[in-house]
C-alpha cells in the first residue's frame, strides 16, 4: 500500500481504483495506523475537518463499505472505529521507517548509506498525493521532514566514506531548495572540501553565514561551524602561493527577488552546471517563445550556482532578436578585458581572440551566460575550451545544432505558477485574497511570465484598483497589448522583435492568422490566406514555428493568445481593408469548398448540402484532408466558427451565411453543437441585416428555425420559419418558399397542430413536383407519412412513406431509406401487424449501424422495443437504456422523453405499476418542458393504465380524462380509440409515431 507518492493500493501488479479524495483520505488514515484501530471521531476529523457532511456517520459508512468492496475483509470494525488488518510492513511508510531505523543501527557507514538509499527509493513523489485537507497537509509535512532527515543522514554516511566529489551537484540542488537547513549546508562545505575545492567551500560558508545573519539574525550552529573549522585546519600545502592577482569577473545581472515557478527547470539546470566537470565544457541552451522568462530563469540559476565558479562569471547580451545582433568578436573583446587582459594585448582578429579567450579560461572554473542568442553560429566562438567552465545560453530558437548542449525548452507557466507569480509581484497578498480573479488575469495573460509580471506591476502601482478592474480591461483582445505595458516592459515590444526578424511572407501570414483570430490551424490554410501554393504555405508556417511565434502539435499549429492579438494589430495597421477582405474571402471560400466536400461524405448531410464550391487545392491534398470527414470537422471547428465571424464582421454577408448554413447542415446538426450553431448564425444574421441582404437573412432565419427544432423549442422554431417564409415571399422565391413551408409543416406536426401541418404539405408537395426536386419531394412525402400516421389515416401514411422510400432508393441514399423504414414500421405497428413492424425496424437498424448514426439507432431501437412489447416480448430493457444514454449524451430532449416513456410501458408489461408510474411521470415532466401536449396526452393514457393496475381508479380516470381532451383538441388518431383497460401486452395501446424525419 503506497502513501509515499500518490495514494495507491496494489493487488499484485494490478492497481485498485480508489475513487475520489474522500476514499483516498480514508485508506490513507487507516494505512498510517495499519494494525491499530482508528476512532470514528478521528476519521471524521481527517475526512471533513471543520465542515462535516450533514449525515457524516452515514457518509463515512458509505466510504467504508466501498473500501470493503474493493479490498475485502482487510477493513474491519474494531471497538469504536475501524482497523486496517494488514501487517505494518505492507505499507510503504512503515517499511521506510523500519529501514531507516535499521540504517541507524548499522555500525558501518557503507551499510548505513546503502540501507538509507533503499529506504529513500520507496518514495515515488509528493506523499499522500491526491488527498486534500489540513490533516493531509500536516501528515505530508511530517513525512517530508522524515525524508529530508534520512537524506541528510545518507549524505553524512557517504561523506564519511569520502565521496564528496560525487555529491557536490546533488547538494547544490538541495541547498538551493532548503537554504536554511544548516546540516545540508555543512554537508555541502564538506563535499566541496573533499572535492579539492577548498576556496569554494570557504566562500560558501561565508555566503551561508551572511544569509543566516541577514534573514534570521542568528549565527551558524555548531555543525555548520565545525565543517568550516575542518576546512580552515586542512593542509594548505597544495594551495597556490604568490604570483600576480587574477581578475575574477562578476558580470551577472541582478537576480530577480520575486522569481517564482520553474522549479523543475531550476533544479535540472543547477544540477547540470554544478556537476563534476567532464571532458568538455558543459553547455545548457534554454529556448522558448517571446516573454516566456528565459533570461529571468537563466539569471536566477546563474546566481544559484555562482559559488561553484570561483573563477568568475561572464555575461553578454547577444541581441539576437534585434536587427544588429552582437558581433562575437566584440563580445570576446569585452570578455578578455574582464578577465584582466590589458587593452593593448587584446588581439584584433576573431580567431586570435577566440584562442586568447580559451587560454585565459584554461584551468579556471568560470560560468559564461549568453543571453538572447541569434543562433549557433553566434554562440560557438564564445564557448570556452576549459573543462571546468560552463555556459548558459538563451535563444528564441531551439539550438539543436549546438553540439553537446543540454536543451531546455520553456513554455507558458502552469496556472498555479502564474497566479503565484502575480501574487509575488502585486504584493500584500492581494492576489491570494481574490483567487478566482487572479486566475482569470493569469489566463488572460496567456500564462506568459512577461505578461503576468507586467499585469502584477500595474496592480502594484495602483493599490486602489480591485483585481477585477484589470481583468475587465484585459478581456478585450483588441486592446490587451496596450494594457500589458508598464515602464520599459511591454509584451508588444517583445513580440515586435521576433516579428521584425521574419520574412515578408511570414509577417503577412502572422498578420492574417491573427486577423482571423484562429486558435489553431493547419498549414494548408495559409495557401488561400497568402495566395500561394500549399508547399510554400508549409515552409512559411515552419518559419513561424522556428521563430517561436507559432507552436506545432502534430499536423496542427497554434498562436499564443497574445501573439494572435499582436498579429491582428499589425494586420489592421499595415494592410488595407481591401487586402484583408480579399484574404478572408479566399480562406472562407476554401473552407466552404472543403466543408461541402466533407459533408457529402457524412451520413445525414447529403440530403441538405451539395458540393457546389470548387477547392483551389489539388485533388490529392483534398482527398488526404477529408479521408476522415468527421475528424476533419472536429479539428477545424474552431477555425470554421472564426472565419464565419470574421466574414460577418466584414459584412461579407453572402459568404458568411453560406458558411453558417453549411456548418449547420453538416457538423453542427450531426453532433448537436447547438451553441456554435447559434453563435455563427447570429453573427451572419447581423451582417445580413446590416447589408440588407434579404436572401442571406431568410437563409439564416431558416437555419435558426431548424436549430430551435433540433432543440425541441418548437414555438421559437415556428416563429423563425415564419419570418424566413415572409422574407422569401417578399423576394418572390417560390422554391425557397416551398422548402420553408415543408420545414414549418414538420414543426406543426411535432406541436400536434396536425391540420395545419397537412394544409402546408398539401400546398407544398405540388410545387415540389413542378420544381422537380427529388430530395425535397422525398422529405415531403416522408413528413406526410408521419403526419397521416398521427391523424390515423394509415393507408395514406403507407402510400406517402412508400413513395419516400422509393425516392431514396433511386438516389442510393441508404440513410434516407433507413429513416423511412422506421417510419413505415410505425404504420404497421398502428395497424397491429407486429411482425411487419419488427422486420422494418430490423432492416433500418442494419443500415444505421453500418452508417454509425447513433441517435437514429437509439430512436429505431425504441421503435423496435415498442413493436416487440406489443407482441408480448418484455426483454428489451437493456437496449432501451443504451438508447437513453445516447440521447442524454447528445442532449436530445425528445429522445430522452420518448425512451423514458417506453421504459414505463415496459414496466407495465412486466406487471410493475409502481416502477411504470415513476418512468411515466418523469416523461411527463419532459413533455411539459418541451411544450408538447399531444405527447403529454399519450403518456397520460399510459399512466391511466398504471393507476388502474396499482388500484387507483380515481387517478386512472383523471389521467384518461385529460388525455382524451387533448386528443380531441388536436384531432389525433387516438381521439377515436377506446380507453385502454389493461397493460400493453394484453390490450395493445396502438402505436404512435415517435420519430422525427430529419433525425
For 640-698, the pLDDT digits (tens) are 888 999 999 999 999 999 888 888 776 565 566 778 888 889 999 999 999 999 989 99
pLDDT value at position 603? 56
pLDDT value at position 482? 77
148: helix, strand or coil? helix
Mean pLDDT of 319-345: 84
The four Cα atoms 852, 853, 855, 858 give a dihedral, to 10 degrees, of -60
With 80 as the cut, is the pLDDT of residue 947 above it?
A: yes
Return the minimum-mean-pLDDT range out of 141-150, 159-168, 297-306, 782-791: 159-168
Helix H or strand E segment including 39: strand 37-39
791 near 749, Cβ under 8 Å?
no
Helix H or strand E segment including 440: helix 435-444
| The length of the chain, given as a count of residues | 999
Task: Give the β-pairing of 313-317 and 367-371.
Answer: parallel
Residues forming beta bridges with residue 316, ordered by sequence position: 370
Q: Has this prediction a pTM greater than 0.85?
A: no
With 50 as the cut, is the pLDDT of residue 608 above it?
A: no
Mean pLDDT of 316-343: 85
Task: Give the β-pairing of 282-287 and 75-78.
Answer: unpaired
With 60 as the cut, is the pLDDT of residue 963 above it?
A: yes
For 194-245, the pLDDT digits (tens) are 877 788 888 888 888 888 887 777 888 888 888 888 887 764 434 444 444 4
pLDDT value at position 161? 78
pLDDT value at position 12? 66
pLDDT band at 563, cuts 50/70/90?
Answer: confident
pLDDT value at position 923? 92
CB contact burial 348-364 (16+ within 10 A = b; e otherwise): eeeeebbebbbebbeeb
Spatial separation of the C-alpha atoms in residues 374 and 379, rounded to whole Å: 8
For 354-393, the pLDDT digits (tens) are 988 988 888 788 899 999 998 888 999 999 987 788 999 9
pLDDT value at position 18? 72
Specify the higher pLDDT residue, 601 or 584. Answer: 584
Mean pLDDT of 296-321: 87
pLDDT value at position 630? 80
Q: Phi first, then psi: what are they for 879, rounded to 5°?
A: -65, -40
- Helices 674-691 and 694-710 cross at an angle (nearest 10°) of 160
For 242-282, the pLDDT digits (tens) are 444 457 788 888 777 778 788 888 888 888 887 666 556 78
Contacts of 615 (CB under 8 A, 6+ apart): 590, 593, 594, 597, 622
For 822-869, the pLDDT digits (tens) are 999 999 998 999 999 999 999 999 999 998 888 999 999 999 999 999
Spatial separation of the C-alpha atoms in residues 288 and 547, rounded to whole Å: 9
- Rounded to the nearest integer, the mean pLDDT of the chain is 84
Task: Give the β-pairing of 406-409 and 282-287.
Answer: parallel
| Other residues' Cβ atoms within 10 Å of the Cβ of residue 342 | 8
Residues forming beta bridges with residue 2, ordered by sequence position: 8
- Helices 893-909 and 913-930 cross at an angle (nearest 10°) of 160
For 908-934, the pLDDT digits (tens) are 988 899 999 999 999 999 888 888 888
For 400-429, the pLDDT digits (tens) are 888 888 888 888 888 888 888 888 888 888
| Other residues' Cβ atoms within 10 Å of the Cβ of residue 217 | 7
| % the chain with pLDDT above 90 | 29
pLDDT value at position 277? 62
Cα distances (angstroms) measured from residue 756 to each of 101, 194, 742, 762: 88, 97, 11, 10
Amino acid at each position: 500500500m503506497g502513501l509515499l507518492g500518490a495514494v495507491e493500493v496494489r493487488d499484485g501488479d494490478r492497481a485498485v481504483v480508489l475513487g475520489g479524495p474522500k476514499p483516498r483520505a480514508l485508506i490513507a488514515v487507516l494505512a498510517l495506523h495499519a494494525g491499530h484501530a482508528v476512532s470514528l471521531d478521528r476519521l471524521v476529523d481527517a475526512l471533513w475537518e471543520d465542515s462535516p457532511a450533514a449525515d457524516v456517520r452515514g457518509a463515512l459508512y458509505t466510504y467504508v463499505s466501498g473500501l470493503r468492496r474493493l479490498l475485502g475483509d482487510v477493513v474491519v470494525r474494531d471497538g469504536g472505529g475501524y482497523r486496517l488488518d494488514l501487517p505494518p510492513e505492507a505499507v510503504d511508510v512503515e517499511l521506510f521507517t523500519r529501514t531507516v531505523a535499521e540504517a541507524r543501527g548499522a555500525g558501518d557507514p557503507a551499510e548505513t548509506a546503502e540501507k538509507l538509499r533503499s529506504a529513500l527509493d520507496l518514495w515515488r513523489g509528493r506523499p499522500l498525493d491526491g488527498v486534500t485537507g489540513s490533516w493531509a497537509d500536516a501528515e505530508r509535512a511530517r513525512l517530508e521532514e522524515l525524508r529530508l532527515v534520512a537524506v541528510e543522514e545518507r549524505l553524512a554516511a557517504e561523506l564519511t566514506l569520502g565521496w564528496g566529489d560525487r555529491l557536490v551537484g546533488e547538494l547544490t540542488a538541495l541547498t538551493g531548495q532548503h537554504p536554511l537547513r544548516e546540516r545540508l549546508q555543512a554537508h555541502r562545505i564538506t563535499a566541496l572540501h573533499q572535492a579539492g575545492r577548498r576556496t569554494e567551500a570557504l566562500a560558501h560558508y561565508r555566503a551561508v553565514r551572511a544569509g543566516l545573519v541577514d534573514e534570521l539574525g542568528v549565527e551558524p550552529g555548531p555543525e555548520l561551524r565545525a565543517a568550516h573549522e575542518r576546512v580552515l585546519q586542512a593542509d594548505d600545502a597544495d594551495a597556490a602561493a604568490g604570483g600576480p592577482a587574477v581578475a575574477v569577473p562578476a558580470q551577472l545581472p541582478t537576480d530577480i527577488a520575486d522569481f517564482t515557478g520553474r522549479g523543475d527547470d531550476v533544479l535540472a539546470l543547477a544540477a547540470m552546471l554544478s556537476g563534476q566537470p567532464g571532458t568538455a565544457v558543459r553547455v545548457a541552451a534554454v529556448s522558448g517563445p517571446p516573454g516566456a522568462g528565459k533570461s529571468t530563469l537563466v539569471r536566477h540559476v546563474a546566481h544559484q550556482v555562482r559559488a561553484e565558479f570561483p573563477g568568475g562569471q561572464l555575461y553578454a547580451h547577444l541581441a539576437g532578436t534585434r536587427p544588429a545582433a552582437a558581433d562575437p568578436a566584440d563580445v570576446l573583446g569585452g570578455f578578455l578585458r574582464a578577465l584582466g587582459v590589458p587593452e593593448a594585448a587584446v588581439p584584433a582578429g576573431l580567431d586570435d581572440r577566440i584562442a586568447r579567450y580559451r587560454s585565459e579560461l584554461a584551468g579556471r572554473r568560470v560560468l559564461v551566460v549568453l543571453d538572447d542568442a541569434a543562433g549557433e553560429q553566434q554562440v560557438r566562438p564564445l564557448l570556452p575550451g576549459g573543462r571546468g567552465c560552463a555556459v548558459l545560453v538563451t535563444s528564441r530558437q531551439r539550438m539543436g545544432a549546438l553540439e553537446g548542449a543540454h536543451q531546455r525548452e520553456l513554455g507558458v507557466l502552469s496556472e498555479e505558477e502564474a497566479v503565484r507569480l502575480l501574487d509575488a509581484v502585486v504584493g500584500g497578498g492581494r492576489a491570494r485574497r481574490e483567487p478566482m480573479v487572479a486566475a482569470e488575469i493569469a489566463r488572460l495573460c496567456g500564462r506568459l511570465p512577461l505578461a503576468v509580471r507586467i499585469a502584477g506591476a500595474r496592480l502594484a502601482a495602483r493599490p486602489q484598483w480591485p483585481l477585477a478592474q484589470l481583468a475587465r480591461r484585459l478581456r478585450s483582445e483588441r486592446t490587451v497589448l496596450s494594457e500589458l505595458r508598464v515602464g520599459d516592459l511591454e509584451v508588444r515590444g517583445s513580440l515586435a522583435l521576433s516579428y521584425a526578424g521574419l520574412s515578408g511572407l511570414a509577417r503577412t501570414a502572422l498578420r492574417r492568422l491573427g486577423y482571423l483570430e484562429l486558435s489553431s490551424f493547419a498549414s494548408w490554410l495559409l495557401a488561400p490566406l497568402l495566395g500561394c501554393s500549399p508547399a510554400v504555405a508549409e515552409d512559411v508556417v515552419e518559419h513561424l514555428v522556428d521563430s517561436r511565434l507559432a507552436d506545432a502539435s502534430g499536423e496542427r499549429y497554434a498562436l499564443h493568445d497574445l501573439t494572435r492579438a499582436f498579429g491582428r494589430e499589425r494586420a489592421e495597421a499595415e494592410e488595407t481593408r481591401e487586402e484583408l477582405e480579399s484574404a478572408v474571402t479566399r480562406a472562407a471560400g476554401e473552407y466552404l469548398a472543403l466543408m461541402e466536400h466533407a459533408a457529402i461524405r457524412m451520413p445525414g448531410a447529403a440530403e441538405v448540402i451539395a458540393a457546389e464550391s470548387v477547392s483551389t487545392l489539388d485533388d490529392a491534398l483534398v482527398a488526404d484532408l477529408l479521408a476522415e470527414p468527421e475528424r476533419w470537422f472536429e479539428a477545424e471547428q474552431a477555425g470554421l466558427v472564426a472565419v464565419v465571424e470574421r466574414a460577418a464582421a466584414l459584412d461579407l454577408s453572402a459568404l458568411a451565411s453560406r458558411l453558417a448554413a453549411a456548418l449547420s447542415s453538416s457538423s453542427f446538426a450531426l453532433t448537436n453543437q447547438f451553441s456554435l450553431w447559434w453563435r455563427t448564425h447570429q453573427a451572419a444574421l447581423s451582417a445580413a441585416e446590416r447589408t440588407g441582404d434579404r436572401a442571406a437573412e431568410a437563409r439564416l432565419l431558416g437555419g435558426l428555425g431548424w436549430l430551435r427544432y433540433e432543440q425541441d423549442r418548437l414555438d421559437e422554431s415556428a416563429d423563425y420559419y415564419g419570418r424566413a417564409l415572409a422574407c422569401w415571399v417578399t423576394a418572390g422565391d417560390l422554391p425557397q418558399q416551398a422548402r420553408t413551408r415543408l420545414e414549418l409543416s414538420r414543426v406543426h406536426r411535432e406541436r400536434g397542430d396536425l391540420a395545419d401541418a397537412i394544409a402546408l404539405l398539401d400546398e407544398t408537395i405540388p410545387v415540389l413536383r413542378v420544381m422537380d426536386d427529388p430530395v425535397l419531394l422525398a422529405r415531403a412525402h416522408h413528413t406526410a407519412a408521419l403526419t397521416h400516421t398521427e391523424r390515423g389515416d394509415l393507408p395514406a401514411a403507407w402510400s406517402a412513406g412508400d413513395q419516400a422510400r422509393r425516392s431514396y432508393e433511386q438516389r442510393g441514399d441508404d440513410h434516407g431509406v433507413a429513416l423511412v423504414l422506421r417510419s413505415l414500421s410505425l404504420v404497421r405497428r398502428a395497424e397491429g401487424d407486429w411482425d411487419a413492424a419488427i422486420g422494418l425496424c430490423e432492416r433500418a437498424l442494419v443500415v444505421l449501424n453500418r452508417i454509425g448514426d447513433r441517435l437514429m439507432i437509439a430512436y429505431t431501437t425504441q421503435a423496435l422495443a415498442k413493436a416487440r412489447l406489443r407482441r408480448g416480448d418484455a426483454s428489451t430493457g437493456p437496449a432501451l437504456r443504451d438508447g437513453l444514454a445516447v440521447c442524454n449524451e447528445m442532449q436530445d430532449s425528445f429522445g430522452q422523453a420518448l425512451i423514458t416513456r417506453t421504459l414505463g410501458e415496459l414496466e407495465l408489461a412486466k406487471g410493475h405499476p409502481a416502477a411504470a408510474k415513476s418512468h411515466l411521470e418523469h416523461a411527463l415532466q419532459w413533455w411539459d418542458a418541451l411544450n408538447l401536449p399531444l405527447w403529454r396526452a399519450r403518456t397520460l393514457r399510459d399512466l391511466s393504465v398504471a393507476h388502474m393496475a396499482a388500484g387507483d381508479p380515481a387517478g386512472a380516470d383523471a389521467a384518461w380524462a385529460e388525455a382524451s381532451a387533448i386528443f380531441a383538441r388536436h384531432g389525433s388518431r387516438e381521439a377515436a380509440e377506446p380507453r385502454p383497460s389493461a397493460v400493453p401486452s394484453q390490450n395493445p395501446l396502438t402505436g404512435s409515431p415517435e420519430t422525427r424525419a430529419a433525425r
